[in-house]
Structure 1
């Protein structure tokens, strides 16, 4: 990719201060880590501005100096709040990297008069950015999409990595009467929508056939879904959805024997910790958002020549199945997932 700009691309001075405006989804946040690692390696001191539910991801990145939790909500420009925060940030940063493509995400660095503002062209924000990249055609892998903002070559080989403080994994396991490597983790939810979720009955059947308990993780909104799985597999699950902080959930994933998940944010967390995992894809594509983990097994009926009739509808990237059959995940049997899990472990 090539930067399009009116001036030469910014060349930060040693120990220069940079603001990174983070995306609003956990998985996307994980996939920005290689970019931040590159920026830190060349001497930039990084402050990340993130929404509260994403901010913990950046506290698991040692290259981040500080995290600002943005007082914003989903939707709406919230101009007054952005202008107020911009006044506080004025003069603190030389460069801003605007990772989301929205107009409102580029507004804060502009109002704060940060000299160099780097991002993709996005929606009607030509005047808000000083250094702009063309949006790629098609769906570029997300790590490469974000890492391209560094202006450096070799972005295709980056893999996200997260780190936790010493003892965090052991403390999280002990808090829930678990033994490190003595349990599996399941992430059966997907914030995007139902089209990305493997059926709860399939998760329950998988849990019933494992040789260790399954710890169910997710947000409070996903607690009923996880409870449905736990009720269908009596004595085989520990439902912790909505009962842990995000960083504690990270620690439980890092301490697990292996992980099973849909294409979700926690899938990318497991990949960033190098945990053995099985990632289940249906309406989305592992060509776009794969778990970048040598210990990952990806199951996707779309590219299975033995599955008939072929899934010509996938990937549709819709929130709910537009055809109403949800074959892409309903037809993925628990036995096949269990076999992949044994291979990954």
Structure 2
């Protein structure tokens, strides 16, 4: 392998020397160094395609230091999609179309697109809640059919913008998280008032509407199960770990950014479900983790890792809530699972090494 074939570029949003996940990238650098791989961090906006170089940062001598590097043969995409992503997208696409560059995986675009892809599999479709693009008629139909509904932004993260709507004799009870991810609740008296709220809250953004699922413990604590699946050093999918994320009781979501915490899966299920139900839930989660990644990869294109958020309702039914192609790893530190934590960091480097060898 040539020197640039032995380099792994972590692509992220950099503002000068400021970029997120520095602790994670430092670990990737140290693991890469042991495997003979040069790891550096860069912004797609800093690529010079004429000289095939990029300005970025590498961790050496105990600090992040700036430098100019040849374009890497392999790129790990950690550019999180958000409102400012449009400034990065043309540069990302140019790199994706470069025949000399291989991406570890290509990011998933949005919740609706992922839902559409997964619904093509009869087995996976059984775990998907009914989902529509939000319109007032779709919301009205969801409320009439299921008794309550949830609206969520098509490209939202961290539980921000997720709202539950429940009809009552006095109108509608609204509860959720606003754009700043702060919990709120209110009562709206009329259908016209509901329409005004939805129009103002969505403010031109595309939202989805689903039935409200009772994804909480008997005492009202919202939770979900984060399953991390990754490609390993042999290029095959592996389940790295599972953890339960518990939310704030004032919230309807369990996201850690909304004040939640994480606990191990086994003891949590034992506390809240009967043995037969526990066994069925575990079996379904394992099946889901085995079936979903290869199917999604066939439909979407190469993936390197997925954070699959699984909901379990009060009856013990399992649901696919969300699939994220740029998952975090915080849960495994929070539940003190050192093996899952280590694998979550080493697998991307091992998979990069696998791709470099097979080039």
Normalization by structure 2: what TM-score?
0.27
Normalization by structure 1: what TM-score?
0.28
Structure (1/2) with the larger strand percentage:
2
